Amino acid sequence: MDNAMLTAKVKEIARDYGACAVGITTRQTLAGGPPSTDLEYVLPGACSAVTFALPLDQDKIEDFIAKRDRSGHQDDYSRTGTMASGIAAQIAGYIAHFGYASVGVLSNEVYRNDAESQPRHLRPDLSHRMLAVRGGVGWFGFSGNVLTPENGAMVSLATAVTTAELEPTEPLPAEDNFCQCEQMECAAACPSAFLHEGKSDMASVTMGGLTFTYARRRHYNRCGYVCAGYSGLHPSGKWSTWSPGRFPIPKQDGDLRRVLVDAVEAWKRRPELDGGVLHQPLVYENTGKDVNLTCGSCMLVCAPTSEERQRRLKLLQSSGVVVQSPDGSLEAVSPEEGERRLAEMTPARRALYEPDQEAYSDIELYGRRRRRS
């Protein structure tokens, strides 16, 4: 089978297994990119890669954003990522049949562990999103997430790397990118202020002579602080993620670790959530506890149309705040009811969710500073 036929076949396989978009990158089209675009890191002698996007269930996302159901989207997120990893392995196995060394790269939770990078640095073996943008699977959104034409950012990505010389696909036209960053719904949906606001502070990456941009990100612990469920209350106090945590959001990255340590210790003592977990080895290694999917809002609000993005953001911001019962169950209530429930807790139980913020009186925080009664 010649290169053109093999290229067409692997794209066909990805789509037959459910991919909504698929692209091909090569060493040449990735030249000059960051270390996470080095195909030979995962396969010596690699020449090209097949990257694809698998869509998430839209109905389950709707219920998740509206605080009607958490576990449905978590299960779908976990299974879709696992399926994407399996499809990558299937594509690699298909190419290997024709005599080319090939390997599937897992969708998530794989980080470099070498002399320069440790898993805690969160540097992936291979960046699916970089390859996806360069190969035309989607565009970078303001958030840095990959936006696909049909499903926005609500996808799982995975990649098969091979020594076969597949034919590269072109990036999508920049003028067709539906993210114009005017409303920045992704930044508004993030309680932790992970993204630098405004277009004046953008990151850029050059691959194969083409330059792509997205918002510069702040310390990655900001994302983990909220997405892992340690805290979830937006600084406005009007809405939260699915986390019942109410630890504050420092304005300066240098103050984040101090609050994060306290939040993690409180999180470890909370009742287990119902509805299953995500098995993330890095978190389990450091805490002895599995995490639950409680956020991901920057991805979930990013639909292909401006009207839908605005609708989803408003749905999130009107979804209420989450409180946890002693049996571990979660309930979304109004901000006022959330305050009442908190006030009824014993001091020891309340400390699992909200610290005495006088402990952080020397730290500049987002939102209002509250004193526990």
Does the structure show a pLDDT above 80 at 373?
no
Other C-beta atoms within 10 Å of 290: how many?
A: 15
Other C-beta atoms within 10 Å of 149: how many?
A: 16
Helices 306-317, 58-65: axis angle to 10 degrees equals 40
Does the structure show a pLDDT above 90 at 277?
no
Closest C-alpha among 87, 100, 91, 128 to residue 3 = 100
Fill in the amino acid letter for 90.
Answer: Q
pLDDT tens digits, residue range 97-112? 999 999 999 998 777 7
Closest C-alpha among 318, 287, 13, 319 to residue 158 = 13
More confident residue, 197 or 244: 244
- Mean pLDDT within 77-94: 97
- Mean pLDDT within 268-279: 81
Q: Work out the pLDDT band at 272, boundaries 50, 70, 90.
A: confident
| Mean pLDDT, all residues of the chain | 92
More confident residue, 287 or 252: 252
Is residue 202 within 8 Å of residue 213, measured between CB atoms?
Answer: yes
Least confident interval from 260-264, 281-285, 367-371: 367-371
Does the structure show a pLDDT above 60 at 168?
yes
Q: Based on the number of CB atoms within 10 Å of its own CB, is 311 exposed (0-12), middle (13-18) or buried (19 or more)?
A: middle
Does the structure show a pLDDT above 80 at 278?
no
DSSP characters for 265-282? HHHHHSPPPSS--B--HH
Token duo for residue 225: 């602080």
pLDDT tens digits, residue range 323-359? 999 999 999 999 999 999 999 999 999 999 999 868 8
- Mean pLDDT within 46-53: 98
Token duo for residue 17: 């297994």
pLDDT tens digits, residue range 106-155? 998 777 777 676 666 668 889 999 999 999 999 999 999 999 999 999 99
**Residue-level pLDDT at 55:** 98
Does the structure show a pLDDT above 60 at 372?
no
More confident residue, 31 or 224: 31
Token duo for residue 283: 């978190």
Helices 58-65, 71-96: axis angle to 10 degrees equals 150
Does the structure show a pLDDT above 70 at 241?
yes
- Mean pLDDT within 304-314: 95
Q: Work out the pLDDT band at 249, boundaries 50, 70, 90.
A: very high
- Mean pLDDT within 217-229: 91
How far apart (Å, rounded) are the C-alpha atoms in residues 245 and 226? 9
The DSSP output letter for 56 is P
Token duo for residue 43: 């396969």
Contacts of 226 (CB under 8 A, 6+ apart): 190, 191, 192, 194, 232, 241, 243, 294, 295
How far apart (Å, rounded) are the C-alpha atoms in residues 183 and 301? 12
Q: What percent of the chain has pLDDT over 70?
A: 94
Q: Work out the pLDDT band at 371, boundaries 50, 70, 90.
A: very low
Pairing relationship of beta strands 21-26 and 139-140 according to DSSP bridges: unpaired
Is residue 106 within 8 Å of residue 85, measured between CB atoms?
Answer: yes
Q: Is the pTM of this model over 0.85?
A: yes
